[in-house]
Structure 1
Amino acid sequence: MSTGLSPKRVGIIGTGNVAGALGAAWRASGHDVVLGSREPGRRSVAGLPVVGQAAAAAHGEVIVNATPGTESPALLQALGPAVLDGKVLLDPAVGFEGDGLAHPGRSLGEILQEAFPRTAVVKTLCTVTASVMADPGRLDEPGTLFLSGDDPGAKRIVAGLLGGLGWPEGSLLDLGGIATARGQEHFALLFLGVAGALGTHEFNVRVVPPVAARGTVE
């Protein structure tokens, strides 16, 4: 898929490994990034400013949900639609509960889109670990990164942000609407098995089309 213009202000909700890795990489590529915490001012993450969650959401042209997937709906509902309406929400989170998924019948992406109908939710980055999200150059080749969402314009904006992380245009595969986020999130179970077999979480998979379909994946 083709990439769009990349926004300059990014508000990341969360202060964990995903938030720190993505925030540092986007700052290095020229974006104005802040992290949102329930306890702002208590710590610095990757040298990035840490503000309240509502302030981070208000700051971002794109908001990134880097909260635990089991907590994401409640945390974002607490922020309210006022700071989310009209914005793009990039969602890389997956909710785990015990040995399985917290949302087995639906995806977290769908739940968030239903909760915030005026926000364009785009599911991506949830099939790789945080270090690879922020730097696909750590791998021999990038592999395939998936996008799911109902708003084509929002997906183009997110694709631009992914390009700033080093993901080439040819590695991005648009799966379709937000319902396809279920497949991305369910991959987490296979991801854990592959990580155990390889002895590392730093890997990716690549979609290999049939010979007749070789060329740029649209």
Structure 2
Amino acid sequence: MRIALLGTGAVCHVLAPAFLDLGHDVVVGTRSPRATLDTNQAYARLAERHPALELRAFADAVPGADLVVNAIDGPSCVAALTPLAPALAGRVLMDVSSPLDWSDPDAVLDPVNTDSLGEQLQRALPAARVVKTFNTLVAQAMAAPAAIGDGDHTVFVSGDDAAAKAVVTGLLESLGWKDVLDLGGIRTARATEMMLRMWIDTWAALGTDMFGFKIVR
């Protein structure tokens, strides 16, 4: 599968190598490839370790992709992706964003309760097939579920398109996830996005961000 991973932050540094290890072709999207290579030393080191990674502008990364991962920061992702609506039409968009400005210590969840980033993306990209997932985890755990409780924890998916959720679920299972819970339509992204407050407070209480949530049946 050809995967376009949009964003060059922590999620990219975890998922891009993991996808390559699974045999997928991976192209990374960024606002300005030249600026990324010149100023983002962490990404430059990643690219050096994984020469198979391609780096392109957002608009050039999406065409030809079987699946697109939104790893752009939450406050910026809707504006960044809206111009790509024609290119994203019909494609599976795996959205891992969180509705929080991490650079602001006083930030609150936005949107929250009556809306979600997942829903905002689906409205802005009506022909894309948005699937919300991975937003209840630290990036390092996304491709290493066994690093927490021997993998005995839950990852969630939300989306209106059953076939798109099946594609994402298959990808998660290939990363080692044993418990993938389909919550229903994209509206249920409100619930997992609101779990971020619980995640932050649990992190503070435990002193580590390597933990997961488990739904016990």
TM-score normalised by L of structure 2: 0.88
For 2:69, the equivalent position in structure 1 comes to: 64
Task: Name the structure 1 match of 2:149.
Answer: 140
Alignment-mate amino acid for residue 165 of structure 2: K
Quick one: distance in 1 between partners of 2:21 and 2:30?
21
Instruction: Find the counterpart in structure 1 of residue 125 from structure 2.
Output: 116
Code of the aligned partner of 2:161: D
CA distance in 1, matches of 2:16, 2:61: 12
Residue 96 of structure 1 deviates from its aligned partner by 0.9
1:54: which partner in 2? Answer: 59
Structure 1 residue aligned with 2:41: none
Name the CA distance, whole Å, in 2 between partners of 1:20 and 1:55: 20
Distance (whole Å) between structure 2 residues aligned to residue 55 and residue 166 of structure 1: 30
Cα deviation for residue 187 of structure 1 reads 0.2
More helix by share: 2
CA RMSD of aligned residues (A): 1.2
Which residue among 75, 79, 83 is the counterpart of 1:74? 79
Partner amino acid for 1:135? A
1:205 corresponds to = 213
Q: Is 1:26–1:164's contact at 8 Å kept on the other side of the alignment?
A: no
Match in the other structure for 1:92: 96
In structure 2, the gaps of 5 or more residues are: 38-43
| Runs of 4+, deviation exceeding 3 Å | none
Distance between the aligned counterparts of 2:144 and 2:185, measured in 1? 26
Question: Contact 2:95/2:118 (CA < 8 Å) preserved in 1?
Answer: yes
Output the CA distance in 2 between the equivalents of 1:75 and 1:164.
Answer: 29
Q: 2:6 — aligned with what?
A: 13
Q: Percent identity?
A: 40
| 173-182 or 131-140: bigger deviation | 131-140
Give distance in 1, aligned partners of 2:137 and 2:201.
13
- Could you tell me which runs of 5 or more consecutive residues in structure 1 were left unpaired when the two chains were aligned: 1-7, 210-218
Count of residues in correspondence between the two structures = 199
- What does the per-residue CA deviation read over 1:121-149, in whole Å, with 9 as the maximum and x for residues that have no partner? 00000000100011112112320011100
Higher RCO (CA < 8 A, seq sep 6+): 1
3-state SS, counterpart of residue 149 of structure 2: coil
TM (norm. structure 1) is 0.88
